[in-house]
Amino acid sequence: MKAARGYLAGEPDPLGAAVVAYAVLQRRTGEGDGRDATWLWIDAWTAEHGLAFAACACAEVDGLALPWGDKGAEHAVQADKWSSEDAYWATGPAGKRMRSLLAVADEADYAEAVERLAGHRRTPQQRRVVSFLVPTRQDWVDECCAEPPAHAAYHSHGAELLLCSLGSMKHVARLRGRGAARFDDHERRVGVLLTAVDGVGPGIAPLLADAVDDAHELTDHGYRRYLVGEGFDEAARAAIFQVLAVLPTDEAFRIVSERLMMPRALPALVTMLERFPARGLRLLAESAAGGDDRARLSALLVAGHLRARPELAERLPELGEHVRAAVEAAQASRVAEADADAVPKGLRKGGKQEAPPWAPTAVLPQILLRGRERALPDAAVTHLLEALGKASPKRAASAAVGAALGELDPGSLAEFGWALFEQWRASGEETRMGWAQLRWTGDDETMRRLGALARSWTGQDGIKVPLNGLEVLAGTASDVAILQLQLVADKARPKRLKNKAGKLLAQASQARGLTMDELGDRMVPDFGLDSAPATGEAAGMTLDYGPRAFRVSFDEQLRPVVIDDAGKLRKALPKPGVKDDPELAPAAHRAFGGLKKDVRAVAADQIRRMERAMVAERRWAPAEFQRLFVDHPLMWHLVRRLVWLHREGGKDTAFRLAEDRTFADVDDEVWTLPDSGAVQIAHPLHLGDGLQVWGETLADYEILQPFPQVGRPVDAFTEQERTSGRLDRFADVEVGVGGLLRLLQSGDWKGLAGGDNGVKDELVRQAPGGRVIILTVNPGIAPWAPAADDKQTLTAVRIAASEADRPGAPKVGFGDLDAITASELLFTLTSLAPPAL
């Protein structure tokens, strides 16, 4: 290009200088976008030709373009190819360096630069670049506001340049009139926001409010992770609140306080309370009167604000009656703080500590000392927060802090820890302390909550939250925590969660010297149920309402059964009435609600485990059987509805558990379980001629079984099938996709894709002896739409030596399977439902 050649020959041409810089950048990076150390060009031009020359050259670079073509071919750089969106040079290090040099230039140099830049305003985007460099020319900014850029989906450098040039609310009003006064994705950064505030002043707050609402809405709907990557709008929202926090106006304070429940708002509001204490009391108190979560949080903040600044208490009477009532209620609900010498040594005041901005102590539940008569002072709580920030699920903060935790009331500590966790989630912060502290503050209820969180995960929070929760469960390693890991491994849908929980479970079982099945046997909590009920009563729980009481037992599906003190069966536990004890009755009703929730979480899992144990012929020593099942207040309800088998020395004896926890044989005679031998759940094939008698006995006692056992269909292979590797009776049988999906969800079967399209057209399960059973289906199950094809065809059912069944592999037949495995396979295949009509 002629301008570039002239500049290289010594002519001081700004366009030529711009072309040379652009061409060099293209040669080095393949991109002329100014994302390297381009500010060096600005300094070089300024040193060689002066400030005005450098400004004019800077105003030309983003209008240059290099046509696409063959790699290595020569192409001429083209000028005046301005885009309404891209201005990487002007908005990058070069443009910022140029603006900085102009801002500190003396009056004469600045005036010369402005005068010469007037000749570099040929297009709307170039005019925006020039206004960005010299925003003092407000008439030029007026022109740019009259022709605002279109807002792109990903970014708009034109909008960024314009927002950084605004100098008054007049400009904002003009942009509003054209529907262009907004901070889009690319402009929600601290630098751009602060520059706009510096130019316009605090009156820009409504635009910031629109921007934070935009970011919140897009994040809530999950769109942003697909557009610009996860986490972008968290940073944007934090930046906007950070800027609002410095604005000294009632309007800015109200904008933040009205959005208090948004992530990142609380730290900003805490900052504003510190900067503007009187304004904070007056305006935040307005939000404290009400019944919603924001009002509750506002009242706690006001009460904490008054504790920190007691000199403001004299202003409390100036507030409205409802506001005073809310604040006084928040103050009155607090337990008196412990004296300094009563604070555990590990939490006494040392150096200066500060609570994380997202976790002000004012909004967290108090931590009580043992005895619940005194609470930790705020300074001690802050010290604890600092210590917890250094902990992990596997490492305590320090021995002193660990000892101090033992002096605290466990219930209030757990409530504090869970509130801290929820506050951390709401804040959008990524610090480890928010979740890791649950390992040291949590109790059994905390572990249940973490398990429920992982099982119900929907993806909105990001998978890190439930994955971190699994680390806490594994680190805690209590029986309840391990049970929750097991439930996640069985019930969570995302494979990443299931696999992680399974890996942690395997580690836990290895640490205890147990198999996974043995670990599962030992992880069923008793939920506070009777371990030795009174004569004539079923194992369960008595709920005391004061003048009346209710007995809760469980049926064959571990569903609660409620009987009143008159012996009448109730459909449900009644709500407390006016004649009931005002303390006992509500507490009993809450306990029942928690019991239902807890038992429901484990019931289906335990029933499934028992059925698998029957099919796999798992065995227990008699003492284990007694301890794990007969004496267990919950599992008792399941095992008493099953027929069991004692095996020793080639002799098998079937028995059941009577209502008084004694044992009865097939003749319904009392039978004593020997101390030796082994116990297992009887399969119908074990019972032989006694199967019909057992069915009649269970019917006589009206015992319903938790899964098909005595009435379970039994089947066997034909002689031809025993010698074959295929089950032709199921070839070309149509089944519904729902039955196949249930097989995959059971964990016993896994899907394999035979082609490269990902469609699972084979279902495989392991069989005894290292064999595998393979079901081939057509058209198969697509992972992205599993239920799309309701009608599936079993094209083949075969047995192989391994999943990689290749020509020349050892031939195996179905006769290699034992009788129970054979019967169960046939039971599974015949149970597959036909496709829905």
669 and 736 both lie in a single domain: no
pLDDT at residue 69 greater than cutoff 60: no
Express each pLDDT in 734-788 by its tens digit.
Answer: 999 999 999 998 888 999 887 767 899 999 999 998 899 999 999 999 988 888 8
User: What is the structure's pLDDT at 1?
Assistant: 65
Question: Considering the domain boundaries, does residue 578 fall inside one?
Answer: no
Binned at pLDDT 50, 70 and 90, residue 684 comes out as very high
Q: Which residues, 6+ apart, have CB-to-CB distance to 27 below 8 Å?
A: none
Radius of gyration, alpha carbons of the chain: 37
Mean pLDDT of 694-705: 96
Report the candidate in 824, 724, 714 with the shortest Cα–Cα distance to residue 765: 824
pLDDT band at 44 (very low <50, low <70, confident <90, very high): very high
**415-432 pLDDT tens trace:** 999 999 988 887 777 788
Tell me: do 422 and 351 sit in the same domain: yes
Q: How far is CA 787 from the centre of its chain?
A: 26
Q: Crossing angle, helix 39-49 and helix 93-103, to 10 degrees?
A: 40
* Residues 509 and 360 placed together within one structural domain of the fold: yes
Tell me whether residue 687 is in a domain: yes
- SS in 3 state form for 84-148? CCCCHHHHCHHHHHHHHHHHCCCHHHHHHHHHHHCCCCCCHHHHHHHHHHCCCCHHHHHHHHHCC
Average pLDDT of every residue of the chain: 86
Burial class (CB in 10 A: 0-12, 13-18, 19+), 692: exposed
* pLDDT at residue 214, rounded to an integer: 75
d(CA 757, CA 744): 19
**56 in a domain, yes or no?**
no
Which residue in the block uniquely carries the two structure tokens 């600045």? 110
Tell me the average pLDDT across 83-105: 90
Residue 353 has pLDDT above 80, yes or no: no
Which tokens in the block code for residue 122? 């040929």
Higher pLDDT, 168 or 223: 168
Compare 279 and 807 and report the one with higher pLDDT. 279
Same domain for 490 and 454?
yes
pLDDT digits (tens, 9 = 90+) for 355-402: 888 888 888 889 999 999 999 998 999 999 999 988 899 888 888 899
Q: How confident is the model at residue 226 (pLDDT cuts 50, 70, 90)?
A: very low
- Please tell me the total number of residues recorded for the chain in this structure: 837
Q: Does the pLDDT of residue 733 top 90, yes or no?
A: yes
Number of domains the chain is built from: 4
Give the pLDDT of residue 428: 74
Over range 283-293, report the average pLDDT: 81
pLDDT of residue 329: 73
For 392-405, the pLDDT digits (tens) are 998 888 888 999 99
User: What is the per-residue pLDDT for 187?
Assistant: 65
Residue 269, pLDDT above cutoff 60 = yes
Q: What is the pLDDT of residues 782-812, one digit of tens each?
A: 988 888 888 999 999 999 988 776 555 668 8
Mean pLDDT in residue range 678-688: 97
Check pLDDT > 90 for residue 523: no
Give the mean model confidence (pLDDT) for residues 527-535. 64
**pLDDT tens for residues 291-306?**
788 888 888 888 888 8
Kindly state the average pLDDT of the residues 333-360: 83
From CA 414, how far away is CA 817, in angstroms rounded? 52
Tokens found for residue 127: 């005019």
List the one residue out of 377, 378, 363 whose CA is nearest residue 296. 363
Domain of residue 694: give its range. Answer: 605-700
Residues 366 and 514 in one domain: yes
Domain boundary, last residue among 652, 673, 700: 700
> What proportions of the chain, in percent to the nearest 5, are helix, strand and coil?
55, 10, 35
36 belongs to a structural domain: no
Q: Give a three-class secondary structure readout of 548-587.
A: CEEEEEECCCCCEEEEECCCCEECCCCCCCCCCCCCHHHH
Q: How far is CA 181 from CA 154, 196, 206, in A?
A: 17, 12, 10
Assigned domain for 813 exists: yes
Task: Spell out the long-range contacts of 787-792 with Cβ–Cβ below 8 A and sequence spacing 24 or more.
Answer: 787/737, 787/738, 787/741, 789/737, 790/736, 790/737, 790/738, 790/835, 790/836, 791/734, 791/736, 791/737, 791/835, 792/734, 792/735, 792/736, 792/737, 792/740, 792/835
Cα 286 → chain centroid: 33
CB 507 within 8 A of CB 486: no
Residue 482 and residue 384 in one domain: yes
Q: Is it the case that residue 84 has pLDDT exceeding 80?
A: no
- Identify the domain boundary among 700, 731, 763: 700
pTM, full prediction? 0.68
- 353 and 327 part of one domain: no
Residue 448 lies in a domain: yes
Q: Are residues 399 and 472 in the same domain?
A: yes
Is position 477 within any domain?
yes
Please answer whether residues 717 and 798 qualify as being in contact, where contact means their C-beta atoms are separated by less than 8 angstroms.
no
pLDDT of residue 180: 67
> Does the pLDDT of residue 153 top 60, yes or no?
no
> What would the mean pLDDT of 190-219 be, rounded to a whole number?
83
pLDDT at 219: 45
pLDDT in tens, 587-635: 899 889 888 887 887 888 899 999 999 999 999 999 999 999 999 988 9
Domain boundary among 305, 332, 359: 332
pLDDT digits (tens, 9 = 90+) for 547-558: 999 999 888 788
Looking at the domain assignment, is residue 29 inside a domain?
no
296 and 394 housed in the same domain: no
pLDDT tops 70 at residue 836: no
- 768 with 656, same domain: the answer is no
- Residue 524: per-residue pLDDT: 85
pLDDT at 231: 42
381 and 512 part of one domain:
yes
- Give me the residues paired with residue 776 across strands: 762, 796
> Residues 99-106: what's their mean pLDDT?
96
pLDDT of residue 223: 37
Residues 425 and 512 in one domain: yes
Percent with pLDDT over 70 in the chain: 89
Q: Indicate the range of 225-229, 439-443, 527-531, 644-648 predicted with least confidence.
A: 225-229
Each residue of 231-257: pLDDT tens digit? 446 778 888 999 999 999 999 999 999
Q: Calculate mean pLDDT across residues 499-517.
A: 92
Q: Tell me, what DSSP letter sits at residue 456?
A: T
Give the pLDDT band (50/70/90) at residue 25.
Answer: confident
Provide the pairing of β-strand 670-671 with 678-681: unpaired
Q: How far is CA 723 from the centre of its chain?
A: 52
